[in-house]
Amino acid sequence: MAELRGSHGDQAHHILTSLFGTPDLHTLSVYESKGGYTALRKALLDMAPADITNEVKTSGLRGRGGAGFATGTKWSFINRDAPGPKYVVVNADESEPGTAKDRYILENCPHMVVEGILIAAYAVGANQAWVYIRGEYDEPSRMLQAAIEEARAKGYVGPKPFGKDFPLDIRLYRGHGAYICGEETALLESLEGKRAQPRSRPPFPAVKGAWGRPTLLNNVETLATVPAIINRGGAEYAKLGTAKNPGTRLLTVSGNVRKPGVYEVEIGKTFRHVIMELAGGPPEGRVVKVFWPGGSSAPVLPGSMLDMTTDAEALAAAKSMGGSGGVIVMDDSHCIVKAAHRLLQFYAHESCGKCTPCRIGQDWAVRTYERILANEGSQVELDILQRVSDGLQNGRCLCGLGDSGGWVIDSTLRHFREEYEDHALRHECRVGTVAPPALRATSPQVGRT
Amino acid sequence: MSSPNKSALPTHILDEIRELPARYPQPRSAVMPALDLAQEELGHLTPEAMSEVAEALSLDPGYVEGVATFYSLFHHQPIGKHRFYVCTNLSCMLRGANEVVDHLKQAIGVERSDQVSSDGLFSFEEVECLGACEYAPMMRLDHRYFYDLNDQKVDALVAERRGKPVVTAEKPKPKRVPRKKPGG
């Protein structure tokens, strides 16, 4: 494995990462020697399924994939007594730009994920779990598969885990390159062997999910947190973090910082702490110009707002969000218009094509950015960007991909109007060190063909 | 040219594909794993191969093609024996990914993602975030990730795959070990 970049080792606020860095932690024997699988044993032998769900509710854990929904509440939506198969589907399709924390967990401690999955499956009455893992994650897939096989050999995965008459099984399903599969209903379509286009809701997956059956969908980090909650108790976990966002989460800090990495942070710490202290701040002589607080889809915040906290409520008040925890930092040597253009290329490429505003709008924005960056812009282009941005947002699309592109345009325009005007009206760039990205070698498809 | 009776996929692959549907709650889920097997065999998905996958799974050929064209890891044109998937999304771009791509193009003598080097060894593609942003700029090659890319690393990867010794003035770096001290 490559050099570990991020949190590891025992610290007061390290819940997920305290064991990271232990040699051979990915093996079952080392994980168990450090207390691994005690939470699963406790859940299966000493707790009723409803107690497990209540413990997770008490912890206040919110989903770490991006939407931040209350995890225990989500679990309680599954009718455990409904006849027929039920599924746990794990979203390991980590693709939000600037987010690498699920990979960090899977490569360091795959058994923690396996344990969390098994506890969740027992709590909601599912005998079968499926992990939908992105196809590019070769090494994490291999490690997770090896962990499942080790757990199977021990009987933790199998017909009678810890002697309990409740069969548990986990299987992997490899994705094949589509950002949209991070959206839960698109993921389910893909798992069913279809083009990954989001479904309209209701029915929600808890009622009609994978293969038409009740399904619990959770993110890797969310499930990896569950063993700690069962071991410590929900109330103890909730002592960390803020009242509405308890606990810790993993923030991937990338871009123009000296120590990029995946850092476990108590929710409520400021971005100044995360970016300037943990990640070492921008390179010598540079200042933080802008940062994306929660993946590329989270509306940007200017460098003047580093004292913003990582709490979801505070971020929402500043018209942004905690999202996937991907903190992308850009310093003052880079151009905001070029950065926004690159992200719109991404959203245009990844649009599944189902909803017209997203399929057409994202591409329209890319073409408008290209005119601006080719010094062919005017007030007309600025107005188009604003109109396209409005058209992408506010529930005009089935899923959040449309909004996300709109937020990139809207937030960068709002905070960096002058730089846009430099480009569009005066045909100049106040920073010009990034090679012009206007023509990518791989010209993006218009949506999905 | 192959004769019309000759199938694109060998019998043992088709047999393997026919066994896939039983592994899933509904048989349709087998379509992606089946296309995976076909692509692994042929390097890319030809219309004939997709038809044979459809037949083996009792699905409509148009349906299978519809799935295969949705996902970017399925290729529909020949690719090099080694394909460089270089991330150029924001986190990598901010740390020099575009320059890495420019250098790679020169090193392998390929200008665009739909071209293959004349020796058939190399092709490349700019891809979206691969989820290893703390190691930017990075790429995927031969089912592995490669980190902290620069011109020398790209040259070395290309040379290794050409089977020529790596010429480098730098002395080899000592293998890095994880820091003992807690980092965060």
Domain count for chain B? 2
Higher-confidence position of A167 and B166: A167
- Count Cβ–Cβ pairs < 8 Å, chain A vs chain B: 207
Q: What is the pLDDT of residue A271?
A: 98
- For B177, half-sphere exposure in the C-beta direction (CA atoms, 13 angstrom radius) is 4
Give the tokens for residue A55. 């413990």
pLDDT greater than 50 at residue A386? yes
At A4, is the secondary structure helix, strand, or coil? coil
Nearest CB to B134; choose among A262, A349, A350 = A262
Q: How far is CA A49 from CA A69, A74, A85, A118, A202, in A?
A: 20, 14, 17, 12, 26
The token duo for A299 is: 């509306």
Do residues A215 and A87 touch, judged by C-beta distance below 8 A?
A: yes
Looking at the structure, do residues B158 and B106 belong to the same domain, yes or no? Answer: yes
How far, in Å, CA of B110 to CA of B124, rounded?
A: 8
Examine the domain organization and report whether B53 and B88 are in the same domain: no
Q: Which domain holds residue B59?
A: 11-68
Residue of A nearest to B31 (CA): A193
Sign, CA torsion B78/B84/B90/B93: negative
Whether residue B46 is found in the same domain as residue B110: no
Choose among A196, A260, A261: nearest Cβ to B70.
A196
CATH architecture of the domain formed by A336-426: Up-down Bundle (1.20)
A423: burial class by Cβ within 10 Å (0-12, 13-18, 19+)? buried
Give the burial class of B100: count Cβ atoms within 10 A of its Cβ; 0-12 exposed, 13-18 middle, 19 or more buried: buried
Quick one: which H or E segment has residue B66? helix B61-68
Query: How far off is chain B from A270, nearest CA to CA, in Å?
Result: 14
**In this structure, is residue B32 part of a structural domain?**
yes
Q: Which of residues 104-123 of B touch A (CB under 8 A)?
A: 105, 111-113
Residues B86 and B109 in one domain: yes
Residue B141 has pLDDT above 80, yes or no: yes
Higher per-residue confidence, A205 vs A439: A205
Same domain, B50 and B96: no
Q: Is the pLDDT of residue B86 over 50?
A: yes
Residues B142 and B114 in one domain: yes
Q: Residue B145 in 3-state DSSP?
A: strand
Q: Cβ B90–A10 below 8 Å, yes or no?
A: no
A297-to-A6, A97, A313, B158 alpha-carbon distances in Å: 23, 8, 17, 35
Euclidean distance between CA atoms A18 and B10, whole angstroms = 50
* B62 and B86 belong to one structural domain: no
Do B90 and B141 belong to one domain? yes
Q: What is the rounded distance in angstroms from the CA atom of residue A315 to the CA atom of residue A322?
A: 7
SS3 of residue B119 by DSSP: coil
Distance CA B109, CA A60 (A): 55
Q: What is the Cα–Cα distance from A184 to A92, expressed in whole angstroms?
A: 11
> What distance in Å separates the CA atoms of residue B122 and residue B78, rounded to the nearest whole number?
11
Q: What is the pLDDT of residue A438?
A: 44
Domain boundaries, chain A: 28-237, 248-331, 336-426
Which of B26, B93, B183 has the CB atom closest to A7's CB atom?
A: B183
Q: Which helix (H) or strand (E) holds A362?
A: helix A356-373
B89 and B61 in a common domain: no
- B99-129, pLDDT tens digit by residue? 999 999 999 999 999 999 999 999 999 999 9
> Is the CB of residue A45 less than 8 Å from the CB of residue A166?
no
Same domain, B148 and B98: yes
Q: Report ipTM (2 d.p.).
A: 0.94
Which of B:44-63 have CB within 8 Å of A? Answer: none
Question: Does a structural domain hold residue B181?
Answer: no
**Is B76 among the domain residues?**
no
Let me know if A312 is exposed, middle or buried by CB neighbors in 10 A (0-12, 13-18, 19+). Answer: buried
Task: Judge if B49 and B96 occupy the same domain.
Answer: no
- Is B132 within 8 Å of chain A by CB? yes
pLDDT digit string (tens) for A56-73? 999 999 999 999 999 999
Average pLDDT over residues A114-140: 98
Sort strands B82-87 and B139-141 into parallel, antiparallel or unpaired: antiparallel
Helix (H, G, I), strand (E, B) or coil at B13: helix
Spell out which residues of chain B touch residue A14, defining contact as CB-CB under 8 Å.
182, 184
Q: Are B53 and B34 in contact (CB under 8 A)?
A: yes
CA distances from A263 to A68, A110, A248, A271, A288 (A): 18, 18, 10, 12, 19
pLDDT of amino acid A443: 42
CB atoms within 10 A of CB B164: 9
The mean per-residue pLDDT over the stretch A193-206 comes to 96
**Helical segments of A65-137, H only:** 71-76, 101-108, 110-124
CATH number of the domain residue B45 falls in: 1.10.10
Peptide bond into B33 cis (omega under 30): no
Q: Is A248 exposed, middle or buried (0-12, 13-18, 19+ CB in 10 A)?
A: buried
Task: Give residue B167's pLDDT.
Answer: 52
Res A2: pLDDT: 83
Q: Tell me what the mean pLDDT of segment A295-317 comes to.
A: 96
Q: Looking at the domain A248-331, which fold is it? A: Ubiquitin-like (UB roll) (3.10.20)
Whether the pLDDT of residue B171 is over 90: the answer is no
DSSP state of B29: G
Instruction: Return the pLDDT at A23.
Output: 97
Q: d(Cα A109, Cα B3) in Å, to the nearest integer?
A: 52
Q: Does B65 touch chain A (CB under 8 A)?
A: no
Percentage above 90 pLDDT, chain B = 84
Parallel, antiparallel or unpaired: strands A87-92 and A128-133: parallel
Select the residue from B77, B108, B129 to test the A interface by mutation, using most A Cβ atoms within 10 A.
B129
Which tokens is A236 given?
Answer: 């103890």
Select from B45, B65, B70 the residue whose CB has the most chain A CBs within 10 Å, as the one to mutate to test that interface: B70
Pick A193's closest partner by Cβ from B32, B98, B101: B32
What is the per-residue pLDDT for B177?
A: 52
B131: tokens are 């989820």
Does the pLDDT at position A440 exceed 70? no
**3-class DSSP assignment, residue B164:** coil
pLDDT at A441: 39
- The CATH number of A28-237 is 3.40.50.11540
Q: What pLDDT is stored for residue A430 in this prediction?
A: 87
Using the structure block, give the residue that is written with the tokens 């937020």: A407
**H or E stretch at B41:** helix B31-42
- The CATH number for B97's domain is 3.40.30.10
Q: Is residue B139 part of a domain?
A: yes
Does the pLDDT value for residue A445 go beyond 50? no
Instruction: Judge if A248-331 and A336-426 fold alike in CATH terms.
Output: no
Other CB atoms within a 10 A radius of the CB of residue B165 amount to: 8
Computed over every residue of chain B, the mean pLDDT equals 90
Considering only CB atoms, A11 lies closest to which of B102, B144, B182, namely B182
Q: How close are the terminal C-alpha atoms of chain B, in Å?
A: 60
Cβ atoms < 10 Å from Cβ of B122: 25
* B88 in the same domain as B54: no
Q: What is the mean pLDDT of residues A99-104?
A: 98
